[in-house]
Amino acid sequence: MPEGPELHMASRYVNRVCAGVVFSGAVEKSEVSKNPEVPFASEAYRISATSRGKEMRLTLTPIEGEDSKDGGETGDPQPMDVVFRFGMSGFFRFTPEDELPKHAHLRFYTRERPRQALSFVDIRRFGTWEPNGNWQPERGPCIMFEYHSFRENVLLNLLDRAFDRPICEALLNQKYFNGIGNYLRAEILYRLKIPPFVKARTVLDGLLLKDHAEKNAKRAKEESTPVQVSEMSLSKKVKVKRETPDLLSLCHTVPLEVLQLGGKGYDPEQSGDSSFQEWLQCYCVSGMKSLRDHNRRTMWFQGDAGPMAPKNSKSPKAKKRVTKQGGDESDDKQVVQEKFQDNKVKGDKEETEGKTGLKRGKGAERNLEATSPVNKGKTIQKRKTATAEQAERRSGRMTRARAKQGS
Catalytically active residues are: 2-3, 54
- Gap between the Cα atoms of 96 and 100, Å rounded: 7
Residue 5 CB-density burial (10 A; 0-12 exposed, 13-18 middle, 19+ buried): buried
- Gap between the Cα atoms of 104 and 162, Å rounded: 37
Contacts of 135 (CB under 8 A, 6+ apart): 52, 55, 57, 83
Distance of CA 304 to the CA centre of its chain: 25
Instruction: Find out whether 186 and 301 touch, Cβ atoms under 8 Å.
Output: yes
- Gap between the Cα atoms of 298 and 186, Å rounded: 10
**Sheet containing 55-62, strands listed edge to edge, beginning at the edge strand earlier in sequence:** 23-26, 41-52, 55-62, 80-85, 128-131
Mapped onto helix, strand or coil, the DSSP state of residue 292 is strand
